[in-house]
Amino acid sequence: MTRTNQVRSSSDARELPVDAVDPMADRSAEYQATAAELSAAAAALSAKPLKLRAEINISSAIDDDYYMDKCDKYVWNALGEIPNPTIADFERLFNHLEETMHAPEMHPLYPMLLDDTAPRSTRMLMALMRYSE
């Protein structure tokens, strides 16, 4: 005799076998393999050297002078102090800058206004194009 669990919906009650095979179980291994491949690709990209420009590409900017000033003073200057900067170094510095935009001393509406001006992904690409070749 097969054990069952009763499942009730708004219109009926039906019985499903407790030991029913999950149709997504086969997909789990596939998803884990894909996640591992993506993780390895991300690690390889993060280790990639970042070739800095001789000067800031001022055409790569967002319409927020305060943000641009902070980005240049923090990210650009810090990258210049790293002997052989990598994409991971850029990401670390950029993410730290972004965290300061949510600091308690900032106006609470500023992060929302900044996101309205340019989403975080756009700001990251802008900074990457601004500082690297």
- pLDDT tens figures, 59-92: 999 999 999 999 999 999 999 999 999 999 999 9
pLDDT at 119: 95
In a domain, 102, yes or no: yes
Q: Is the pLDDT of residue 54 over 70?
A: yes
In a domain, 49, yes or no: no
In a domain, 28, yes or no: no
In a domain, 10, yes or no: no
Domain count, the chain: 1
Structural domain of residue 107, as residue ranges?
Answer: 65-131
In a domain, 43, yes or no: no
Q: What percent of the chain has pLDDT over 70?
A: 70
Of residues 110 and 2, more confidently modeled = 110
Q: Which residues of 34-63 are buried (b: 16+ CB within 10 A; e: fewer)?
A: eeeeeeeeeeeeeeeebebeeeeeeeebbe
- pLDDT tens figures, 17-32: 555 555 555 667 777 7
In a domain, 73, yes or no: yes
20/27 Cα distance (integer angstroms) = 16
In a domain, 121, yes or no: yes
